[in-house]
Structure 1
Amino acid sequence: MNFRQIEAFRTVIQSGTVSRAAELMGVTQPNVSRLIGELEEVVGFALFDRVKGRLIPTPEGQAFYRDVDQSFRGLDLLRSSAARIRDFGSGQIRIASLAAAGSTIVPRAVKKFRESFPSAIVTLSIMTSASVRNHVVDGEYDLGIAADEVDLSGVEHQVFGSFAALCAIPAGHPLAAKKVIGPKDFDGMDYVALSSGDKARRQLDRLCEQAGAKPNLVIETPFAITACALVLEGVGIAIVNPLAIDGFSERGLIFRPFEPAVYFKSYLLFRPDVQKARLVRAFVNSLLEVRNSRPSVHFDQGCEKPTAD
């Protein structure tokens, strides 16, 4: 039994005649008849009754056709799967992101990405930058977004962005009246700090030390979005990544520029052992589009909430 015999059998049943089957298969009618005869010898029973020059499926032939058709449906699925993998990679993209981007810019990129690839499956996990790097290197994720404190050795990478920090201030706080916050303003203030390994945190610590300012460190957290939530509750002030501030000003949190500028730099990380699949390239393009279309934050005099372009 071979594929061509099975194909001839299925095509005759679906087309209704040997002549039409021959046309669809691109062979002669005698070839189709020969293939049917060979298949009947292999299976050991008649697939068709010959009635006035026509082939009528026998009950056994009809039963056999049901299994044949099911097998061809499976082949069609395999062809679709192969085409999807050829065109889009695996049909699935796995993304690991630091929290600041994972709660704002990445979801927007997912929405934009799905406009072009609605059937692709996206897995998004939020974790520390160190974990992002390790999971990408281990091949568990196709794309990572991590802060610049991670070890970039052994991983393909490109700069995603460098974002000027904002100072997050609770409503009613004395610093809310200031247009710009500087290191000296942190002196004696309750302070919500990012983790000690965060480069932006270290920049702020150096600036405060140079200015002779001694903030009162209340709590540390690795996530800027958590820092915003803590500031909203009045725990202290904080320097935060602007990617993480969405929705907080509407809830009453106040943001001010910080000078001299402190930057949150982030990288896109890629698995080092494989060529980037089309889905990964497409998602990176969506990320860059969303990044480039981010509204600028402006601060009106006397206004406690930032407004966007």
Structure 2
Amino acid sequence: MNYRQIEIFSAVMKAGTVSRAAELIGLTQPAVSRAIAELERAVGFSLFDRVRNRIIPTPEGKLFYADIERSFLGMDTLRAAAARIRDQGSGQLRIGSLSALGSSLVPRAVKRFRVVHPDIRVTLMVLPSRDVRDGVASGEFDIGLAADEIDVTGVLHQSFVTPRVLCAMPQGHPLAAKEVIGPHDLDGVDFVAYVPEDRARQRLDLIFNEAGVAPNIVVETIYAATVCALVAEGVGVGLVSPYAIAGADPTRLVLRPFEPVVQSKSLLILPLDRPKSQLVRDFIDCLMAAR
């Protein structure tokens, strides 16, 4: 018994005659008759009674056909499932993001994505960049956004956004009267900084050293949103990506350009050994549009 014989038997049952079935599947009548006879020998019972040049399904043939129909229905379900997996992957999207983008740009991208894929479950984890990188490398995340200080070994990566950082200060701060903030303005000023391994922190330290100035670092943190919150509480002044201020209370912050220009660089990272599903491709498009 083989699939072709089953297919021919099903065609005869649907068509009602051998000649009609032969036309439908593009075979000769003798070929159809031979296939039915071979199938009957394989299953060990008659599928049709031959009465006055007509074929009539036997009770056994009808039972066998009912099972075949159920099998075909199962195959259709499997084909639909395969198509869904091919087009959409697992039916969910897992995203890891650094803080600076996780409260602004990424939510905008998720909103766009949901318009196109309303039935796809999205998981968004806002984590330190090194944890985002590890999650992508291990397959925990389908896509990640991380600062450029991560180890990119074991992941695919490309530059994503490089916004110019802004100087954030509390409302009423003396520096709020200035249009542009420079390193000498921050000499001795209470300052909320990123941790020393942060690349943006390292660029700033170099600028401060070259200018011969030293802000008074009162807090170090890894999250841009935490910098904004501390600044809003009046703890000190900080330098933040414009993407990081999306969730901050604008009535409690003053933002000014900082010179010389310092850019906060982030990377789009993907698993190294996994082809991009259509869901991932679509979300990347949404990320690009949200920049």
Which TM-score band applies after superposition, normalised by the shorter structure?
A: 0.7 to 0.9
Deviation for aligned residue 1:72: 1.8
* Deviation readout 1:219-238 (Å, 9 max, x if unpaired): 33212123223333444332
Note the 1:111-260 alignment, pairs <5 A. Answer: 111-113=111-113, 123-209=123-209, 210-217=211-218, 219-250=219-250, 252-260=252-260
Instruction: Please state whether the residue corresponding to 2:264 is helix, strand or coil.
Output: strand
For the 8 Å contact 1:249–1:255, the answer to whether it is kept is no
Matched to 2:137, the amino acid is: V
Query: Residue 7 of structure 1 aligns with which residue?
Result: 7
Q: Hey, what's the Cα distance between the residues in 1 that align with 2:85 and 2:65? A: 30
For the 8 Å contact 1:189–1:215, the answer to whether it is kept is yes
Deviation for aligned residue 1:172: 3.8
Please state if 1:75 is matched with 2:71. no
Distance of aligned partners of 1:50 and 1:255 in 2 relative to their CA distance in 1, 3 Å threshold = farther
Q: Hey, what's the Cα distance between the residues in 1 that align with 2:67 and 2:172? A: 74
Q: Hey, what's the Cα distance between the residues in 2 that align with 1:21 and 1:109? A: 53
Distance of aligned partners of 1:253 and 1:44 in 2 relative to their CA distance in 1, 3 Å threshold = farther
Matched to 2:104, the amino acid is: T
For the 8 Å contact 2:176–2:254, the answer to whether it is kept is yes
Query: Residue 305 of structure 1 aligns with which residue?
Result: none
If the length of structure 1 is used for normalisation, what is the TM-score?
0.76
Of structures 1 and 2, the one with the larger relative CO (CA 8 A, separation 6+) is 2
Deviation for aligned residue 1:68: 1.9
Instruction: Please state whether the residue corresponding to 1:254 is helix, strand or coil.
Output: strand
Instruction: Please state whether the residue corresponding to 1:270 is helix, strand or coil.
Output: strand
Deviation for aligned residue 1:83: 4.5
Q: Hey, what's the Cα distance between the residues in 2 that align with 1:109 and 1:82? A: 27
Deviation for aligned residue 1:163: 1.0
* Deviation readout 1:159-217 (Å, 9 max, x if unpaired): 11211112223334443343333334434444332222111122233434435233241
Distance of aligned partners of 1:250 and 1:30 in 2 relative to their CA distance in 1, 3 Å threshold = farther
Distance of aligned partners of 1:230 and 1:63 in 2 relative to their CA distance in 1, 3 Å threshold = farther
Distance of aligned partners of 1:21 and 1:261 in 2 relative to their CA distance in 1, 3 Å threshold = same
Distance of aligned partners of 1:274 and 1:247 in 2 relative to their CA distance in 1, 3 Å threshold = closer
* Deviation readout 1:55-80 (Å, 9 max, x if unpaired): 45444444433432232233224434
Distance of aligned partners of 1:173 and 1:46 in 2 relative to their CA distance in 1, 3 Å threshold = farther
Point out where structure 1 has 5 or more consecutive residues left out of the alignment. Answer: 292-309
Matched to 1:195, the amino acid is: V
Matched to 1:104, the amino acid is: S
* Deviation readout 1:67-114 (Å, 9 max, x if unpaired): 322322332244345445666666665443222223322333344445
Q: Hey, what's the Cα distance between the residues in 1 that align with 2:251 and 2:71? A: 58
For the 8 Å contact 2:86–2:277, the answer to whether it is kept is no
Please state if 1:271 is matched with 2:271. yes
Alignment RMSD: 3.3
Instruction: Please state whether the residue corresponding to 1:273 is helix, strand or coil.
Output: coil
For the 8 Å contact 2:154–2:271, the answer to whether it is kept is no
Q: Hey, what's the Cα distance between the residues in 2 that align with 1:243 and 1:233? A: 19
Instruction: Please state whether the residue corresponding to 1:248 is helix, strand or coil.
Output: coil
Query: Residue 97 of structure 2 aligns with which residue?
Result: 97
Instruction: Please state whether the residue corresponding to 1:151 is helix, strand or coil.
Output: coil
Note the 1:44-63 alignment, pairs <5 A. Answer: 44-50=44-50, 53-63=53-63
Deviation for aligned residue 1:264: 0.5
Distance of aligned partners of 1:215 and 1:33 in 2 relative to their CA distance in 1, 3 Å threshold = same
Instruction: Please state whether the residue corresponding to 2:196 is helix, strand or coil.
Output: coil
Instruction: Please state whether the residue corresponding to 1:212 is helix, strand or coil.
Output: coil
Distance of aligned partners of 1:40 and 1:199 in 2 relative to their CA distance in 1, 3 Å threshold = same
Q: Hey, what's the Cα distance between the residues in 1 that align with 2:58 and 2:233? A: 78
Q: Hey, what's the Cα distance between the residues in 2 that align with 1:62 and 1:286? A: 53
Matched to 2:32, the amino acid is: V
Distance of aligned partners of 1:36 and 1:245 in 2 relative to their CA distance in 1, 3 Å threshold = farther
Deviation for aligned residue 1:280: 4.1
Point out where structure 2 has 5 or more consecutive residues left out of the alignment. Answer: none
Matched to 1:263, the amino acid is: Q
